């Protein structure tokens, strides 16, 4: 019995170790731990979406011209996670995120198609888990992007490119507040709401949330850039 339990416990430890390393922002080491787990369980959605998350987090802190391979690899892992477990909310979330990142390197027509994929995947992730704060947060960013598209551009996209999802600043505010309600100490959720307010022309609301958030403990390595941005905007507003 012991000979069966020990390898199993080792594998569980490698998955937990990966999570611990991710929290410490040691993304390369986290990926190595998750890959160790996948060697025994090659179709485990939990390990696959975690690798996608770590690759995106790693890509976010690389130089701009070095990020694309990380995002594309993240898409491969998250797509596999969705195939491995189609009912895994986190798998759909990170697939949506990775598709969104990869779309930055595609042409206009592909961008529109991928935007619809992102929206569908995030909606489904939330349907599977209504407490998925990451999905709400990214959906808020998605709606902010839609809010920055003019009426004319939307009509042109609908006419020539097959259409883009509906949504705007009000939708973004709603879902970002939902993300914050679920996970109030995550900098990314609050930062995105502040940026949405800036784009919306609501400077006082943006300054207020930046002042509330700027001293929060970083959850991701990329939070250092968010904190720097907020400090700069607080001085300007």
Domains of the chain plus CATH, in order, are 9-129 (1.25.40.10), 131-237 (1.25.40.10)
| pLDDT score recorded for residue 11 | 53
Q: Tell me the C-alpha distance between 29 and 134, whole Å.
A: 23
Q: What is the pLDDT of residue 143?
A: 95
User: Which residue ranges of the chain lie beneath pLDDT 50?
Assistant: 1-10
What integer best gives the mean pLDDT of the chain? Answer: 90
The CA distances from residue 120 to 50, 53, 100, 152, 175, in Å, are: 21, 19, 12, 24, 15
Q: Give the model confidence (pLDDT) of 134-144 as tens digits.
A: 999 999 999 99
Contact indicator for 172, 147 with CB cutoff of 8 Å: yes
Distance CA 106, CA 75 (A): 14
Smallest CA-to-CA distance from 22 within 51, 48, 46, 42 is with 51
Q: What pLDDT does 150 receive?
A: 60
Q: What is the pTM of this model?
A: 0.90
What's the confidence (pLDDT) of residue 202? 97
């Amino acid at each position: 019995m012991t000979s069966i339990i020990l390898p199993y416990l080792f594998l569980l430890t490698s998955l937990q170790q990966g999570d611990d390393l991710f929290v410490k922002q040691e993304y390369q080491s986290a990926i190595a731990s998750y890959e160790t787990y996948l060697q025994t369980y090659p179709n485990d959605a939990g390990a696959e979406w975690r690798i996608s998350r770590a690759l995106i987090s790693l890509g976010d802190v690389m130089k701009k011209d070095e990020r694309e391979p990380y995002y594309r690899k993240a898409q491969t892992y998250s797509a596999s996670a969705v195939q491995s477990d189609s009912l895994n909310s986190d798998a759909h979330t990170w697939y949506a995120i990775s598709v969104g990142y990869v779309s930055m390197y595609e042409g206009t027509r592909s961008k529109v198609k991928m935007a619809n994929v992102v929206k569908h995947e995030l909606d489904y992730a939330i349907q599977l888990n209504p407490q998925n704060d990451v999905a709400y947060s990214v959906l808020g960013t998605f709606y902010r992007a839609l809010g920055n598209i003019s009426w004319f551009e939307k009509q042109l996209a609908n006419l020539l490119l097959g259409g883009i999802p509906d949504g705007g600043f009000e939708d973004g505010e709603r879902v970002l507040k939902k993300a914050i309600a679920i996970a109030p100490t995550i900098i990314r959720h609050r930062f995105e709401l502040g940026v949405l307010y800036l784009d919306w022309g609501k400077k006082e609301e943006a300054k207020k949330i930046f002042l509330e958030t700027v001293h929060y403990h970083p959850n991701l390595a990329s939070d250092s850039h968010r904190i720097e941005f907020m400090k700069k905007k607080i001085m300007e507003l």
